[in-house]
Amino acid sequence: RRYPASSQTPTRLVHIDWPNKKIRVLESVGSNPQYVTLSYRWGVSRSAYKLTAETKVKLTSESGESMDRLPKTIQDACFACYRLGYRHLWVDRLCIMQDCKEDWARESSKMSQVYRNSVCTISASCAADEDRGLFTDRSHFNFQPFHIRIKTSQTESQESLVIMPDNQHEGHPSGMLGYLANRGWVFQERLLSKRTVYFGKEQVFWECSELQANESWPCGQSRPLGELYELELGTPYHQHYVPPRMAFGSAAAWKISTMCSSICGIQRLLLHLLHWRGQGHGAKNYRSTSARVARNGDPWPRIVADYTERIFTFEDDKLPGLSGLATDFNNNHRNSQDKYYAGLWKSTIIQDLCWQVVRQGSKYSRTRQTKLPSKYRAPSWSWASVDSKIQYERGVQRKAVFLVDYKDICLSYASNDRHGAICDGWIQLSGFLKPVIVSLYDDKRKALLYGPKREKLDLFYNAYADFDVEDPADETQVFCLPMIQPDNDNEVYFQFLLPRGTSKHPQPTQKLLGLAKEGPQEIQRVGLGSGLIKDETAFAKWLSQSPKQDIVIR
């Protein structure tokens, strides 16, 4: 499929002079350059070659820099890009100033355009870091089909059985995503790319908006390699795929067979590389790449659930690592007037506030594996304020009665990127703020709620409490803020909160944002709860005993 050209161009690109083993960083690349992007995993080495104020002089000079100075993965990516017929590569460590916070913030905010407008992304899924390279020694028995002749006792005829390697789980070290499966930045790089070639440990994989394939199944998977999101209904990533067929003798399939053979013994690249490179003219039904995520209703809760499982080398990257996808999502899947606030959307702000930390383990013995960042990263009401997998209960996502009113929101940003890092922020709501004492039981999952004078609140058949970081000590009073009651349901969701400064959430280094008006109480979120209401009348009476008030959650 051919995609329309874009006027958006990266600030810098790496020009590849493979015959002379040279690279040069271009800061003026003209209009609509064709370039390839690289997705890979950084290592812990601080000395690996990158673009800094010191190296910029050599990298941008007419003579360029020797390719030997680059980490092995970057060298191999240059080779793959060159053999695919392209001379320009975008790679973060050479196209973003790594010692300039302003340049890093500006360029990282452009990720949506950088990856969406590249002709293809090379994914170094076999490489544990930037020094491992794209090409590995491997056995063709791990991916090549073979025939077995079978003669049964019932008949004289022989049957031919073709044995194919089983599809490997995409997150396995030998699978499609390999070492990149749990990396934070790779999440949006994968979703934003039009096409991706994965150099796995055992074989090469292909992925685009229409198809997943590999060397074992060059015409398409017999089943999808994996699902982009852990959908409870098991909806496959691709609704339709080309049935597999044996095409190993096809000239059309393997014209581009020698690209990597001299290095690692790869004898075939995917049919789709050829089809895209040489025959992708006259494509029809153009749609944005990000249509891949626009399925099964609002995909944002699933995006958050998947993204928050990922690991970052630097904890400050939590919001910037999703900035490109959030920008793309804002432009293509939300009303253009919608606003993005630290991982949440204004149009669904009440539902988005009802995120929940996922506990690990069995149904009967589950443990919380949550930690807080060492310094302020987001307001307590944002899922980005904690390091844990996040989920949204189904009840939160259905049509519901809101028990709070949204009043105002204010954020201070670390840069001009309104989808990026946050320095300070608050949200103002109006709701029924109820002081309660929470008593946990049944592996600290279920809860009994008491009033401030220890009177039992006989409001719920069952109540549940999931505190974000740690459970409160016995007899600790917290605030309960009812948030949502799903339509035609007797369940209610509520936040648990504490006065600002009494929770363990890191505070901003300086309070950058005052309030629009003085008066509302400042509090911080510490958890989410839910309960099955016994008596609607009694519940309504309990709420009415405390009239709605304005509150500010920091």
Q: Whole-angstrom Cα distance, residue 261 to residue 204?
A: 12
Q: What is the pLDDT of residue 461?
A: 87
Q: Whole-angstrom Cα distance, residue 356 to residue 496?
A: 11
Q: What is the pLDDT of residue 281?
A: 32
Which residue has 């803020």 as its token pair?
A: 481
Strand order in the sheet with 88-90: 65-66, 22-26, 13-17, 88-90, 36-39, 120-123, 195-199, 204-208, 212-214
Nearest to 323 by CA among 415, 390, 412, 405: 415
Q: What is the pLDDT of residue 534?
A: 93
Strand blocks (E) in 200-273: 204-208, 212-214
Enumerate residues 6+ apart whose C-beta is below 8 A from 284.
none
- Bridging pattern class, strands 195-199 and 204-208: antiparallel
Q: What is the pLDDT of residue 352?
A: 95
Q: Whole-angstrom Cα distance, residue 492 to residue 253?
A: 57
Taking residue 305's Cβ as centre, other Cβ atoms within 10 Å add up to: 19
SS3 32: coil
Q: Whole-angstrom Cα distance, residue 23 to residue 139?
A: 33
Q: Whole-angstrom Cα distance, residue 441 to residue 447?
A: 6
Residue range 408-443, pLDDT digits in tens: 999 999 999 999 999 999 999 999 999 999 988 877
Q: What is the pLDDT of residue 252?
A: 27
Strand blocks (E) in 305-388: 340-341, 344-345, 356-357, 360-361, 366-367
Strand blocks (E) in 238-341: 340-341
Q: What is the pLDDT of residue 221?
A: 58
The first and second tokens of residue 155, run together, are 């008949």
- Enumerate residue ranges in the chain where pLDDT < 50: 167, 222-296, 362-366
What residues does each domain of the chain span? 13-141+168-280, 300-553
Taking residue 121's Cβ as centre, other Cβ atoms within 10 Å add up to: 21
Q: What is the pLDDT of residue 122?
A: 96
Q: Whole-angstrom Cα distance, residue 331 to residue 294?
A: 13
Residue range 159-215, pLDDT digits in tens: 656 565 554 555 555 678 888 988 999 999 998 999 999 998 888 888 887 778 888
Alpha helices in 248-314 (DSSP H): 261-264, 271-279, 300-307
Residue range 352-371, pLDDT digits in tens: 999 999 876 544 444 556 78
Q: Give pairs for 287-292: CB < 8 Å, separation 24+.
A: 287/209, 288/328, 288/332, 289/3, 289/116, 289/191, 289/192, 289/193, 289/194, 289/209, 290/116, 290/191, 290/192, 290/325, 290/328, 290/329, 290/332, 290/333, 291/209, 291/332, 292/191, 292/209, 292/228, 292/237
Q: What is the pLDDT of residue 435?
A: 94
SS3 56: helix
* H/E run at residue 394: helix 394-397
Q: What is the pLDDT of residue 516?
A: 52
* Phi, psi angles (nearest 5°) of residue 183: -90, 135
Length of the chain (residues): 554
